[in-house]
Every structure is written in structure tokens, then in C-alpha cells.
Amino acid sequence: MGYSIFVSCSKGLEYLLMHELESFGLQNLKNSPHGVYGDADLTCLYQIALWSRLANRLHLILIKGSASDSKALYDTCKNYPWHEVFDGERSLKVTFHGTSDELRNEMYSGQVVKDAIVDYFRDHAGDRPDVDKRNAQVHFHAYLKYDQVTISLDLVGYSLHQRGYRLDQGLAPIKENIAAALLLRMNWPEIAAKGGYFSDLVCGSGTIVIEAAMMAANMAPGLLRTDQAFASWLGHNPKLWLALREEARSKKQDLSIQLYGSDKSQKVLNSARENVERAEVGRWVTLQHLPFNQAKKKHGYGLLVMNPPYGQRIGEQLDLIPLYKELGQTLSSEFLNWQAGVITSDPMLAKSIGLRAHKQYAIFNGAIPCHLYCFNLDEHNRLKSGHDQPFADGAQMFANRLTKNLQHLKKWAARNGIECYRMYDADLPEYAFAIDQYGDYVVLQEYMPPKQIPEHVAANRRLDALQVVLKLLNLSSQQLIVKQRRPQKETQYQKHDDKKQLIQVREGGAQFYLNLHDYLDTGLFLDHRLLRLEFAKLKPNTRFLNLFCYTATASVHAALAGALTVNVDMSKTYLAWANENFKLNGLSRSRHQLIQDDVMVWIKSNQQKFDVIYMDAPSFSNSKRMEGTLDIQRDHVFLIKAAIKSLAAHGKLYFSTHLRTFKLDPAVHQMAKVIDLHSQTIDLDFKRDPKIHQCYLLELGDHYKGLSAK
């Protein structure tokens, strides 16, 4: 008996799947964007279920009929002989895909199909099957297009990528059939047949190396599955099915080669070992707890296939460039004469490897469009080592400017005991980056390129910057943090990551915790260094108020001088960070208050008086925790007026903003003596950017001889 079937697959695998299905005897094959149609006999159906390494679902097509509206859909389904497909005592579920002008809701349309099937059994057998959305014994799929519905039976009941061995997985697992597709694209069966070995240097939970072992050993991927839905289909032939399973078992081969998987995470390797044992390939697979940059090839010839992390946000991708550069160095230096395949979603990351890919294949990893990059690691495709590798012309220009900056900035920083400073800030328009030193770490921030700059040009400049910074500063990938600055929808304090990796740095007599990864800013505004150090000169018992205190670095300097501080911010996270900064410096909280509140609300009701007030407000904020929004240009008169009311006699208010277009309202000059401090508060590393901030001192007395006198 012949059956019309549709075998679905991940987008991009249709032609590979067609070739595979043809080998199982499928006739009249026809490609579609998500799979292959064809005609099969029962043996072919079972072979697909047992042997397909690429398929998702195996659909037996039952109905192609009218569905112009809900009544037509119901009638089409009600008139089908369902008793020939399954026993009414079996439970069922229906998955419906597609909409039309009349059938706009997939859930409702699915209910119409279920009602028709249930009503059919009620009318013909006097009983009705149960509906089970989670553990149904029979699973139907309905697909609506152009008022026509196609209804099929899912013969296995779930996706064929689920082999049955992977119960534990890493954070970003690759599906088993995608892993198999990568191996087939890299001609792994032919390499294995010639005695080539295999390695995955970022193996995670082991999917790729397990699929490679099963493929080399000619193990049918369906043998591990024992819960297929065939048993609930009335066309099932148990005797033939068992015979084909036994035949598949007999084709399994022993291997004379070894396959290697390694990963820096012990946790995912523990999962990989369990998966390897369940897949019954443990005697051929060796797993190692090892960062990929420490990997060495075990044999002269073989294949590497890897699925390294590639992130989804631009910041994540930029942060991964150093990792890909190290991957290229490892492949070039340690795996001569091997083949390598690397899947990634970002061409910039692939280019960061630094090796020439002779082929690329489009492939989807889940919903993520990716490419598989294929490398011949021969003598003609190797990285030049160390200082012998020249920069491109543009990169050399950037390198020259950075070198020039460092020649005097390093000496200046060492002379003044400065650990954190800006070494480059878009000095060359083509290389619009800010580069900051934080102790042993460097943060490289890319200013968002103008829309007229093509993405491939921007990507090349990113690579230039990474190459130059890593080499000139002699950094490892762990010491370089890469970000992209772009307009913020709320404030600059939004979270971008969750690594929670803190470092300690020193500024003058103070120490601070910084987080270089999780936020756009790090916990320390470098351009306000001079102003913070001025607060370190305050007299003991000075009453110091820090509004919009952020991580309270200015207050720590004041507190170390003996001041009593009050710190107000809306963020619980940053106040907790501020508290850790106080503790790091051995400062007792009995003399320092941390208040979580909206500054614009708190300052109106404050009754305390302060000798010094520091207000460095964000340019804009529309946080949900606020009453309304904050626009510093619009609201600074209100904030300054309210702050002045909290000043003691002869008190001083320091007001600063990073808004480049800011203009101080003339009304402020009627409230106090105003002294423009912005040029005096910009240190050597920010002299090229005089608009980095604006800073004003407002005095209620005439005795102050601080920064304004310099």
C-alpha cells in the first residue's frame, strides 16, 4: 500500500533531507520550504523513523479538502473515515497552523477539527475518544492555506530530532538533527571511513560528538526511541517494524577511531557524560574538562565541528570577538591538516577567526539564521603568528593613534597613581570607540555607527579595533570587555548582562567595586575623577548630600575625609552596590545613610541641612518607579532650587550633567553665585572632549576657595 507523506525539517535542510529520503526509497519527491513531500510504502515509513538523521516530524497525509469557513472545515473532517486510522478508545490532540479571512483563530480552528473527529466516532461507534493536550496517543496536525486544509497523522508523535539520549543539556543546546546536518555538510562519514578522528572543542552537553559517533558507527538514531506512536495507528505492522529494528541493530559497526569532546564547564561535561552513556557510544568518545585554547590535536588527520556561543544582542556578539580570535589561533596552531566547521549567526564573529572559509552553508539553529563556515586547516590557511601579523591600513592608523596616546597617558597615570582612565575616545572618526583602562581590564565601547555606514564596514572596523587593542595592550580575551553605546530608552543604568563579576580598583585613597560586564556603565564615571578627589579634601564632620548617588563613589571619598553622608537614589541595586563600596573602605554605616527614593520627591520634603550637596543627575529617565519623567534640561531649575533650600549657610552645591546640549537657565543665577567648573573638572584623559560633562558650583557664601580658585 502506498502512502502520501510529508517529512518536515529545519529551514535550510530541505535538499539534504531530500537526498537522505531518496536513499530510503521515497518516491515522487517534492521540496517545500520546510520539508519534503513524497510517496512511501510501509517499509519506507519505518526506515525514515529509524534512520533519518535530519527529519523533524513524519506526517502521514490523510485529508486535503475545503476549509473556506468553520462549517466547511467541520464537514471536511467529519466526512473522513477516522475509524480506519485509529481506535476511538485512543486519546487524541490536534495542532492547527494557519489562518484565513474566515478562520482567524488557530485555537478555535483546532477545536472545530477535534469536534468533527469526536462527533464522527460518536455517530459511528456510539462512543467518543478523549482529548489529551499533553500525552495524547494520537497526534494530528492541520495546516490551513488558501481556504484549503491538510490534515496529517504524526506517525512518531514527536520530533525525530529527539533521539532519546539527551535528557541533560547545556545553556544553548543544538538540536540533534542540526548537529547531524553540520556533520554531513562537512563530509564526516567519508572522513571517518578514511580513519579520520573527530573533535569538538566546545562540546557542551555533547550533542555534536555523540551524533558524530553514531554516524561513524552506522547506528540508527531511531533505535533509542521506544515510545513511537505507531502502536496507535491501525495501519501499523508490528512484525515488520520489529524486523526492521533488528536489521538496524545488526548494521551497527565498531570503530577504530576516537572522538573527543572538551569544554571549560565541568557542569555541562557531567551532562555530556550521561548523554554519551545513554547513546551507547561511550567506548569511542573521550570527554575532557579543558578550555579550547589548551586543546591539542591527538592525531594527524580529522574533523572539528563546533557550535561556539554567538549571542543575540550586539553587545554579546562584540564581547565574543576575542573568543573567536583565540579559536582561530588554536585551529591554526594545533590542528594542521584537519578540516573544521564552525556554526555562528554573525559573519563578524566568523571573520574574527582569521582563517579563510572555502565554503559556507546557510542553516537555521532553531529560529536563529546561521551559517556553517568550512575551513581547510592546511599550510595555505594559517594565521601569521604574533608580531609578524601586520595590521590592515586603517587598523594601523588606529594603532598609531592609540600608541601615541598611551605614550604619555601611561606615564601620567603611573605618576598620579591612577588605575582607571580613558586612553582613546573616538580620536579618529572612522574608529568611533571609547577605550578605558580599569586596573588589569580594558573596556572597549563602540559608539553606534551612523545609518549611512554599511554594516560590513562597521564590522570590519570592530575587528580592526579588537585586533589592535588585544595586541598593543597584550590582553587575553578575558581582560577585554566589548560593548556598544546606543541611545537609551530609560537611563544608562539598565542591565545588559548577568555575569555579576566584580573587580576592585583604587582611586586616590578610596577603593571601589566595579562591574565591567552587566551594565553599560561600570560603577565609576571616569570623567568626574577630579571632582571626586576634591571631595576627599572636605573637613571632618562636613554634612555631605549625594543626590542621584549611583554607586556613591563621590560619597566614599567624602566619608574617608570624615564627612557624614546622605545618599539618595531610586535604584535598590545601586544602593546595595554603594553599601558594598562603603564596607570595602572600612566605613561605618552609622555615619552614612542610603535612601531609596525618587530624588525629585525626596528633595521637596527634606528638612535636613547640608554643607555640601553633589547632584549628578541623569539626562533623562522614565523609570516606572518615578512619578512622571526626569528631563534634566526641563527640570534642572526645580532640582537646583529645591537643593538650595537644603543647603546650610555658606553651603555649596555642585551640579553636573552629561547632557551635551545642556544650557543653564538664567534663573539659576538669581538663586546663588554660579561658577562654571567644567574645564577645571576635566582631567588629562578627557581633554580631547571638553563637552564630556558640564559642572557648576553654586555658592551661598563668598568664602569658598576650592576648585573655583584653581
Question: What distance lies between CA 16 and its chain's CA centroid?
Answer: 29
In this prediction, residue 243 carries a pLDDT of 97
In this prediction, residue 692 carries a pLDDT of 94
Residue 229 domain flag: no
Read off the pLDDT of residues 4-13 as tens digits, 9 standing for 90 and up. 999 999 999 9
Judgement on whether residues 341 and 265 belong to the same structural domain of the protein: yes
The pTM for the full model equals 0.74
Query: In whole angstroms, what is the distance from residue 10 CA to residue 418 CA?
Result: 54
CATH number of the domain encompassing residue 136: 3.30.2130.30
Residue 546 domain flag: yes
Q: Look-up: residue for cell 475545503?
A: 66
CATH number of the domain encompassing residue 412: 3.30.750.80
Residue 169 domain flag: no
Final residue of a structural domain among 434, 460, 485: 485
Judgement on whether residues 467 and 546 belong to the same structural domain of the protein: no
Locate 256 and state its grid cell: 577504530
Most confident of 380-394, 476-490, 646-660: 646-660
Does the pLDDT value for residue 490 go beyond 50?
Answer: no
In this prediction, residue 104 carries a pLDDT of 94
Judgement on whether residues 653 and 633 belong to the same structural domain of the protein: yes
Residues 6+ apart with CB under 8 A from 561: 535, 536, 537, 538, 539, 540, 542
Judgement on whether residues 531 and 671 belong to the same structural domain of the protein: yes
Judgement on whether residues 682 and 538 belong to the same structural domain of the protein: yes
In this prediction, residue 705 carries a pLDDT of 42
Long-range contacts of residues 532-535, Cβ cutoff 8 Å, at least 24 apart: 532/507, 532/508, 532/557, 533/507, 533/508, 533/557, 534/706, 534/707, 535/561, 535/563, 535/612, 535/614
End-to-end CA distance of the chain: 97
Residues 6+ apart with CB under 8 A from 190: none
Judgement on whether residues 329 and 192 belong to the same structural domain of the protein: yes
Domain of residue 17 covers 3-154
State how far the alpha carbon of 198 is from the alpha carbons of 180, 192, 266, 391, 478, in Å.
14, 8, 21, 34, 28
Read off the pLDDT of residues 405-439 as tens digits, 9 standing for 90 and up. 999 999 999 999 999 999 999 999 999 999 999 99
In this prediction, residue 390 carries a pLDDT of 66
In this prediction, residue 170 carries a pLDDT of 55
In this prediction, residue 28 carries a pLDDT of 96
Torsion of CA 448, 452, 457, 459, to 10 degrees: 30
Residue 237 domain flag: no
Does the pLDDT value for residue 115 go beyond 90?
Answer: yes
CATH number of the domain encompassing residue 561: 3.40.50.150
Residue 690 domain flag: yes
Residue 666 domain flag: yes
Judgement on whether residues 316 and 443 belong to the same structural domain of the protein: no
Mean predicted confidence (pLDDT) in 354-377:
94
Final residue of a structural domain among 355, 384, 413: 384
Query: In whole angstroms, what is the distance from residue 253 CA to residue 251 CA?
Result: 6
Read off the pLDDT of residues 27-73 as tens digits, 9 standing for 90 and up. 999 999 899 999 999 999 999 999 999 999 999 999 999 999 999 99
Look at residue 317 and give its three-state secondary structure: helix
Look at residue 7 and give its three-state secondary structure: strand
Does the pLDDT value for residue 386 go beyond 60?
Answer: no
User: Where are the alpha helices (H) located in 62-206, listed in sequence order?
Assistant: 70-78, 106-125, 176-185, 188-193
Locate 593 and state its grid cell: 545613610
Query: In whole angstroms, what is the distance from residue 225 CA to residue 158 CA?
Result: 11
Beta bridge partner(s), residue 485: 447
Enclosing H/E stretch for 457: helix 455-472
Hey, what amino acid is at 665?
D
Window from 307-321, 490-504, 613-627 with minimum mean pLDDT: 490-504
Task: State the pLDDT confidence band at 645, using cuts at 50, 70 and 90.
Answer: very high
Does the pLDDT value for residue 158 go beyond 50?
Answer: yes
User: Where are the alpha helices (H) located in 540-631, listed in sequence order?
Assistant: 553-560, 572-584, 599-605
Judgement on whether residues 397 and 355 belong to the same structural domain of the protein: no
User: In percent, how much of the chain has pLDDT > 70?
Assistant: 94
Mean predicted confidence (pLDDT) in 210-239:
94
Query: In whole angstroms, what is the distance from residue 410 CA to residue 419 CA?
Result: 10
Locate 673 and state its grid cell: 553665585
Task: State the pLDDT confidence band at 491, using cuts at 50, 70 and 90.
Answer: very low
Locate 10 and state its grid cell: 529545519
Mean predicted confidence (pLDDT) in 463-475:
89
Judgement on whether residues 339 and 212 belong to the same structural domain of the protein: yes
DSSP 464-504: HHHHHHHHHTT--GGGEEEEEE---SS-TT-B------EEE
In this prediction, residue 594 carries a pLDDT of 98
Residue 101 domain flag: yes
Task: State the pLDDT confidence band at 392, using cuts at 50, 70 and 90.
Answer: confident
Closest CA to 661 of 697, 693, 686, 638: 693
Give the chain's domain count: 4
Judgement on whether residues 467 and 542 belong to the same structural domain of the protein: no
In this prediction, residue 168 carries a pLDDT of 63
Read off the pLDDT of residues 667-691 as tens digits, 9 standing for 90 and up. 999 999 999 999 999 999 999 999 9
Query: In whole angstroms, what is the distance from residue 585 CA to residue 552 CA?
Result: 12
Judgement on whether residues 542 and 621 belong to the same structural domain of the protein: yes
User: Where are the alpha helices (H) located in 64-175, listed in sequence order?
Assistant: 70-78, 106-125
Judgement on whether residues 679 and 628 belong to the same structural domain of the protein: yes
Locate 120 and state its grid cell: 464522527
In this prediction, residue 628 carries a pLDDT of 78
Final residue of a structural domain among 329, 362, 384: 384
Closest CA to 639 of 568, 690, 574, 703: 568
Residue 166 domain flag: no
In this prediction, residue 704 carries a pLDDT of 40
State how far the alpha carbon of 695 is from the alpha carbons of 459, 531, 545, in Å.
36, 9, 17
Read off the pLDDT of residues 498-549 as tens digits, 9 standing for 90 and up. 667 899 999 999 999 999 988 889 999 999 999 999 999 999 999 999 999 9
Locate 113 and state its grid cell: 477539527
